[in-house]
Amino acid sequence: MVIPQHVALILDGNGRWAKKRGLPRTMGHKEGCVTVEKTVEIAARMGIRYLTVYGFSTENWKRSSDEVGALMQLFRFYMVRLLKIASANNVRVKMIGDRTRFDRDIIEGINRLESETKDNMGLTFVIAVNYGGRDEIRRAAKRLAQDCAAGKVDADQIDEATFASYLDTADMPDPDLLIRTSGELRLSNYLLWQLAYTEIVVTDCLWPDFNKEELEKAIVQYNRRERRFGGVKG
């Protein structure tokens, strides 16, 4: 079985998982964080080189202040745990998205995670926080326009590779496989540039219930598909 080099995940269903059990939504998010931890370790052992998860979108700020506040507290707690997990599994941690909106201590925690794991040579675990695909493209276009205006880039020489070098994922390969949990059939503004030719697998499993078996089933589906350059069968 071919193991995809880069797997992207949309972690959906935390709220529904909690509702089914008569629990508050925050308990679903907490259990979802535990599943993230387990999935990082499983992916590292399987030989996946990049694992990217949608942790907190630009749209998530629209949720209730109580839920956003609880998510921020969870983020603070699990950043500390993640540093231990990364060290134990030789994992490099990278954050993508606009981190400037977070409180100073969270920004410092993100910077510490990246700095203290930068020399790890195993799985690269990428967390999209305050991330939106359109926002990423907007930010990239703005920086590219500024460099063009400054004479650093010739506008006539801009190609896809040039533009991609301004994205948050500039040093990473595009995902081979996207897995979305809870049965939803949409991209939700996630990695819009990078997913152009990615294979997509949707499972009805709610994210807190996701496990090694679910990941393996998705990779089996990935292996059954006939992939051609440019995403076109010929």
> Does the annotation mark 12 as catalytic?
yes
Q: Using H for helix, E for strand and C for coil, what is the string for the chain?
A: CCCCCEEEEECCCHHHHHHHCCCCHHHHHHHHHHHHHHHHHHHHHHCCCEEEEEEEEHHHHHCCHHHHHHHHHHHHHHHHHHHHHHHHHCCEEEEECCHHHCCHHHHHHHHHHHHHHCCCCCCEEEEEEEECHHHHHHHHHHHHHHHHHCCCCCHHHCCHHHHHCCCCCCCCCCCCEEEECCCCCCCCCCCCCCCCCCEEEECCCCHHHCCHHHHHHHHHHHHHCCCCHHHCCC
Q: What is the pLDDT of residue 233?
A: 41
Catalytic site includes residue 60: yes
* Candidates 12, 135, 168, 176; catalytic one: 12
Q: pLDDT for 130-153, tens place per residue?
A: 999 999 999 999 999 999 999 999
pTM above 0.85, yes or no: yes
State residue 228's pLDDT score. Answer: 56
Q: Select the more confidently predicted residue: 225 or 6.
A: 6
pLDDT greater than 70 at residue 232: no
Q: pLDDT above 90 covers what percent of the chain?
A: 85
| Whether the predicted pLDDT of 230 surpasses 60 | no
Average pLDDT, the chain: 94
* Over residues 223-228, mean pLDDT: 78
Whether residue 201 is predicted with pLDDT greater than 60 in this model: the reply is yes
What pLDDT band is residue 78 in, cutting at 50, 70 and 90? confident
For residue 36, pLDDT beyond 90: yes
Mean pLDDT of 210-215: 98
Average pLDDT estimate for 65-92: 90
Report, as an integer, the average pLDDT of 8-18: 96
User: Tens digit of pLDDT for each residue in 151-197?
Assistant: 999 999 999 999 999 999 999 999 999 999 999 999 999 999 999 99
